[in-house]
Structure 1
Amino acid sequence: MSGNDESLAQVFQKAEILFLDIQKSTLASNSDEYQSKVNQSIRGFELSSRMVRQLSLFSDNEFMEDISTKDLRILLTEYYLGELFLKRVTPDRLADLNSGKEHLDHFLLQCETHDILTPSDKKYLEQLTTNTPKDAATRRGEKIARFKREKEMRNQIEEFHKILGTTNSGYEGELSSELEDQYRDFVLLHLQYAIFQTMEQLVGIQQEIPMLQQMAERKAAEGSNDSRASNRTAHDARDGKVDSSTIWNATGPLMDPQGRPLRPFMITNKRAEMMKGVFRPGHSLPTMSIEEYLDQEMERGNFLSGGTEEPKKKEADDNDEEAINAETIKARNWDDFKDDNPKGWGNKGGRIG
């Protein structure tokens, strides 16, 4: 799409027709053909944007009423570029999102400068920038209202297409005064629809960019860890050693081509192990005998030795008069105690039987 012999209006219209074709396309968004159209349309609108700056087409002190209808539609350039960058499928999604956001922000700034934003658009934009908290019912009501507005604008655009006999925002040929007014309303409606879509896209971008940034940070951290691990593995390989963490975490082959173990394994007689599993009883077998258990408990001090026999009563020596007298006195005292305390005394107040 060369701009050497084409006017700004022609360059813009070719890129716009291609953009509208992409919007209606049934191709997969990651297919080569689809992405080729996206990039081609981007190049067309980027050329259109450069031509706008070279021609100084818009002035900051111009309002919407001061801009001609055919120039007014060129304001859609930045909107189309923002949409197209969001449709790109490249390894650097974050860069595409930032580019798309930059173009969409520029488009809104142009619309605000030229007094195209409606009061409701300004209020909604202020809510987006301040991130005003809302309850679920309010958010649901606003979402329903904006959905209805979007549907209404699409229907109006289709009606204008039928009236004007055009498939894009441009109109070639002579226009009567009546069609001129309708065409201007048609272009303004296109701008209003673009403003609406821009705000919706910015909401999605604000949610996606932080997630991509977190993913990039996590990937960078994992890459740093992988780099340290690979350096350590390479160092161990030079020293003829194998990293223990690699051995215990590996699930691949047992050995590397050099014969070094990659994970732990045990050499066993597989047939013998299988036989043990088949012929073993259903209950758990003891691992030691009762005698071994008692010996083990004895060593731990869990059994007391002795104390199972009654001590033998020490008999007094017949030649030991003091011992004999002590035994006699003890027996007399016991007899006196039994006389003073008959059997059952004290039970139920002395009542026996």
Structure 2
Amino acid sequence: MAENDASLAQVFQKAETLYLDLQKTTLSSTSEEYQSKVNESIKGFERAEAMVQQLSLFSENEFMEDISTKDLRFLLTKYYLGELFLKRVSQDRLSALNTSKDHFDHFLLQCETHEILTAQDKKYLEQLTANTPRDAATRRGEKIARFKREKEMRNRIEEFHKALGTTSSGYEGELSPELEDQYRDFVLLHLQYSIFQSMEQLVGIQEELPMLKEMQARKAAQGSNDHRAAQGSSNENGGEDGTRVDSRIRNATGPLMDPQGRPLRPFVITSKKTEMMRGVFRPGHSLPTMTIEQYLDQEMERGNILSGGTEEPTKKEVDDNDEAGLEAETLKARAWDDFKDDNPKGWGNRGGRTG
């Protein structure tokens, strides 16, 4: 069958198989083979998404109960695209992150429209959107609860895989009424797990985006400075009219530019007031990069903090009827007394010696 004649289910299945292979592969994520599979899977899901739109498979007026069992899994298309763009190695990481974020946002919006989001997920999504500050204990409790939930969903998905005899979200055989209910629960669980992962990925994207934007701004500023330096070098060797700027004039104090707008000496555009404020109010020590609570949370996640305590060792009591034990204790006490007699207190100290 030609590739153009493939059905939506076949296109989606092929792209999903590639994605699942990437999850289990031992290839380096930067290798050519790995990136080739990433790009091929992206093309497959983009084609599947176009087919979904062409078929008008999902309507904004439909709820989860209105969508057929075999169509439900195609809602995962946007989620898979979000994950794959995070795996793609690109020169423009910022653009890849924004594309991935758009796919995750669209997927979550679809799930909310069709009422697949749980109340717990809606609450967590609102917290992410509002960026509500929470104390360390609350954040730690949320992390533990979400970790347990993720583990539980993974285990249930594995159980469904074994029961249905499938390794993906699809099922190619005929669905009996009983099997259809089981398969529908399986797909809904896949969607719930993907919702969970989407929100976790969005947290990571929110943390990475500001850093990338700052790096991009620094590169732009560096490029602007390099351009100015190149122009200065050109002016030093000669202007457009072929005249040469005297180095003594360039290095002298006086006007920065001549009437024609050509620089007479090197200069850097900066805010002196800002530099002076930074110099005056800068502390003489390095400022901390995180709070104590954040550091303790980080160390606890790494397993470097032990909980609980240790108990005082209890001395074993000798039974009164144990003659050998009593005799051993008596000999030990006598030996200790003899040692103290032979080694008076302070004997080992230079100041305690009298002879």
TM over 0.5: yes
Aligned pairs for 1:18-33 within 5 A: 18-33=18-33
Compute the displacement of 1:210 (Å). Answer: 1.2
Compute the displacement of 1:234 (Å). Answer: 3.1
Paired residues, what number?
Answer: 246
Compute the displacement of 1:27 (Å). Answer: 1.2
CA contact (8 A) 1:169 1:187 kept: yes
Question: Equivalents in 2 of 1:9, 1:241: separation in Å?
Answer: 75
- The corresponding residue for 2:103 is 103
Question: Equivalents in 1 of 2:79, 2:169: separation in Å?
Answer: 13
Which runs of 5 or more structure 1 residues have no equivalent in the other structure? 246-353
With over 3 angstroms needed to count, the CA separation of the structure-2 counterparts of 1:2 and 1:91, relative to structure 1, is farther
1:207 aligns with 2:207: yes
- Write the deviation string for residues 214-259 of structure 1: whole angstroms up to 9, x where unpaired: 111111001100111122123324449889x9xxxxxxxxxxxxxx
- The corresponding residue for 2:87 is 87
With over 3 angstroms needed to count, the CA separation of the structure-2 counterparts of 1:242 and 1:200, relative to structure 1, is farther
With over 3 angstroms needed to count, the CA separation of the structure-2 counterparts of 1:195 and 1:235, relative to structure 1, is same
Question: Equivalents in 1 of 2:165, 2:247: separation in Å?
Answer: 75
- The corresponding residue for 1:59 is 59
Aligned pairs for 1:1-353 within 5 A: 3-238=3-238, 239=244
Question: Equivalents in 2 of 1:196, 1:102: separation in Å?
Answer: 16
Computing the radius of gyration from Cα coordinates, the structure with the larger value is: 1
CA contact (8 A) 1:104 1:198 kept: yes
Q: Aligned partner of 1:17: which letter?
A: T
Compute the displacement of 1:181 (Å). Answer: 1.2
Q: Aligned partner of 1:44: which letter?
A: G
Matched residue SS, 2:117: coil
- The corresponding residue for 2:253 is none
CA contact (8 A) 1:3 1:47 kept: no
Question: Equivalents in 2 of 1:204, 1:242: separation in Å?
Answer: 53
Compute the displacement of 1:113 (Å). Answer: 0.4
Question: Equivalents in 2 of 1:242, 1:11: separation in Å?
Answer: 69
Compute the displacement of 1:207 (Å). Answer: 1.1
CA contact (8 A) 1:78 1:104 kept: yes
CA contact (8 A) 1:15 1:44 kept: yes
Compute the displacement of 1:180 (Å). Answer: 1.4
With over 3 angstroms needed to count, the CA separation of the structure-2 counterparts of 1:140 and 1:237, relative to structure 1, is same
Matched residue SS, 2:5: coil
Q: Aligned partner of 2:104: which letter?
A: L
After the TM superposition, which parts of structure 1 deviate over 3 Å for at least 4 consecutive aligned residues? 237-243
Question: Equivalents in 2 of 1:190, 1:241: separation in Å?
Answer: 74
Question: Equivalents in 2 of 1:151, 1:242: separation in Å?
Answer: 71
Matched residue SS, 2:4: coil
- The corresponding residue for 1:308 is none
Question: Equivalents in 1 of 2:172, 2:247: separation in Å?
Answer: 76
Matched residue SS, 1:52: helix
TM-score, normalised with respect to structure 2: 0.66
- The corresponding residue for 1:265 is none
- Write the deviation string for residues 262-299 of structure 1: whole angstroms up to 9, x where unpaired: xxxxxxxxxxxxxxxxxxxxxxxxxxxxxxxxxxxxxx
Question: Equivalents in 2 of 1:175, 1:86: separation in Å?
Answer: 35
TM-score, normalised with respect to structure 1: 0.67
- The corresponding residue for 1:348 is none
Moved more, 230-239 or 43-52: 230-239
Compute the displacement of 1:23 (Å). Answer: 1.2
Question: Equivalents in 2 of 1:229, 1:19: separation in Å?
Answer: 48
With over 3 angstroms needed to count, the CA separation of the structure-2 counterparts of 1:241 and 1:51, relative to structure 1, is farther
Question: Equivalents in 1 of 2:213, 2:34: separation in Å?
Answer: 27
Matched residue SS, 2:172: coil
CA contact (8 A) 1:108 1:195 kept: yes
Matched residue SS, 1:4: helix
CA RMSD across the alignment:
2.1
Q: Aligned partner of 1:63: which letter?
A: F
Which runs of 5 or more structure 2 residues have no equivalent in the other structure? 239-243, 251-355
Question: Equivalents in 2 of 1:215, 1:195: separation in Å?
Answer: 30
